[in-house]
Amino acid sequence: MAIDSISNIASMTHYPKDEKKDEQKKLVFDASVLKFESQIPKEFIWPDDEKPSANVPELQVPLIDLGGFLSGDPVATMEASRFISEACQQHGFFLVVNHGVDAKLLADAHKYMDNFFLLPLRQKQRAQRKVGEHCGYASSFTGRFSTKLPWKETLSFRYSAENNSSKMVEDYLLNKMGNELRLLGRVYQDYCEAMSKLSLGIMELLAISLGVGRAHFREFFDKNDSIMRLNYYPPCQKPDLTLGTGPHCDPTSLTILHQDRVGGLQVFVDNEWHSISPNFEAFVVNIGDTFMALSNGRYKSCLHRAVVNSHKPRKSLAFFLCPEGDKVVTPPAELVSQNRPRVYPDFTWPMLLEFTQKHYRADMNTLQEFSNWVQQRNS
């Protein structure tokens, strides 16, 4: 569930002309070829201390039924907020069921992911993500990082809840991929709208759990300017050497993830990795760095990663909730006191996005490093 930074490492390395061309050639990630290779390129091999373990324990995360909250039941609402509070203080992960998202829309979102990622590489590259941007198609971020490359492909696009942006996703994908994939755009426009609605409901529960005004965070994110990402993890013949996504905390506010039925998500809790098994009826929700700052550090943005396997592709849909660009990320007054002073400086989401795009590869220390960067800029 990473919002990976974009740093053109290849362009910073000095090669003789032909050598550079050969190096870039090697770094092409074509899943249709590499998924059969018994020897994976060295750029995808992770350090020994970061390689995945064979067996990890299951993380016990609360399964929160949103049915009562969505129907206005005050008792069910308080119970849901209590479960969320406990999870967010411990590790920031929880599952939600009876979430109100249409089952056919979920099925279509997974189907059209297959339709896109099974296209020939050249066709997918029509939506190629450019250096310095966070939207578009990326085949493992080759040419941006030179080591510890993730074994995955992604397609990312922006979603805005502004009234005049009602077809933003549809128009973007139509422009990039052409009329033959028009339905892809419609499905993900609808999916993003459903995720935005679900996010705002969860924001209400987060506000209740923190003891601030129920509408506070909902209003803060009402016109959210968010990121949607489709993740595709091809099979890898050496899954013990690489990672689908490296260890990181999400720099965004809230992540809503829908996994297919192939496992791979792992969370670092109590100094060891734990898995979160797939549940097709549920969404996995986790707190990101921006909301950790909004809560003045009360709620945790937790380290997580994705592993791959040798026999089956894994897919997931990740919606990253982000505030509008001019919203100042500052905790509500109720969460600041003499005994609990401010932990992080004021910032806007575009500032943090710029930091992770141009200056820092997202990891477990992103928020603290960003805070230091902001304070140095302001001094």
* pLDDT score of 332 more than 80: yes
- Which whole number is the average pLDDT over 364-368? 88
| CA torsion angle 40 153 182 123 (round to 10) | -40
* pLDDT score of 184 more than 60: yes
Give residue-wise pLDDT tens across range 100-139: 999 999 999 999 999 999 999 999 999 998 877 789 999 8
- Which whole number is the average pLDDT over 352-373? 86
> How confident is residue 43, by pLDDT bands cut at 50, 70 and 90?
very high
CB-side exposure of 103: number of CA atoms within 13 Å? 4
What share of the chain in percent tops pLDDT 90?
A: 77
Q: Residue 280: which H helix or E strand, with range?
A: none
What pLDDT does residue 345 have?
Answer: 95
Rounded to a whole number of angstroms, the CA Rg of the chain reads 20
Q: Residue 156: which H helix or E strand, with range?
A: strand 153-160
* pLDDT score of 257 more than 80: yes
What pLDDT does residue 18 have?
Answer: 38
What share of the chain in percent tops pLDDT 70?
A: 91
* Cβ atoms 146, 9 nearer than 8 A: yes
Q: How many Cβ atoms are within 10 Å of 279's Cβ, its own excluded?
A: 15
Q: Residue 88 corresponds to which amino acid?
A: C
More confident residue, 253 or 133: 253
- For the ranges 19-28, 168-177, 246-255, which has the lowest average pLDDT? 19-28
> How confident is residue 144, by pLDDT bands cut at 50, 70 and 90?
low
* pLDDT score of 178 more than 60: yes
Give residue-wise pLDDT tens across range 53-97: 878 999 999 999 999 999 999 999 999 999 999 999 999 999 999
SS3 of residue 209 by DSSP:
helix
Tokens standing for residue 59: 């993380």
Q: Which residue has the tokens 């067996």?
A: 55
* pLDDT score of 247 more than 50: yes
Could you tell me which of 318, 379, 334 has the C-alpha nearest to residue 159? 318
- For the ranges 101-115, 213-227, 274-288, 362-376, which has the lowest average pLDDT? 362-376
- Which whole number is the average pLDDT over 245-261? 95
Could you tell me which of 328, 294, 326 has the C-alpha nearest to residue 212? 294
What pLDDT does residue 1 have?
Answer: 53
* pLDDT score of 21 more than 70: no
Q: List the Cα angle 45/48/54 in 5-degree steps.
A: 90
> How confident is residue 311, by pLDDT bands cut at 50, 70 and 90?
very high
What pTM did the predictor assign? 0.91
What pLDDT does residue 28 have?
Answer: 81
> How confident is residue 182, by pLDDT bands cut at 50, 70 and 90?
confident
Tokens standing for residue 235: 């099979």
More confident residue, 261 or 142: 261
Give residue-wise pLDDT tens across range 25-40: 557 889 999 999 999 9
What is the sign of the dihedral through the CA atoms of 1, 284, 195 and 170? positive
* pLDDT score of 177 more than 70: yes
Q: Across all residues in the chain, what is the average pLDDT?
A: 89
- In 3-state terms the chain splits into helix, strand, coil percentages (rounded to 5) of 40, 20, 40
Q: How many Cβ atoms are within 10 Å of 121's Cβ, its own excluded?
A: 15
Domain 36-378: give its CATH code: 2.60.120.330
**What is the residue extent of each domain of the chain?**
36-378
* Cβ atoms 6, 132 nearer than 8 A: yes
* pLDDT score of 20 more than 80: no
* Cβ atoms 167, 31 nearer than 8 A: no
Tokens standing for residue 170: 């549809």
Active site residues: 314
> How confident is residue 356, by pLDDT bands cut at 50, 70 and 90?
confident
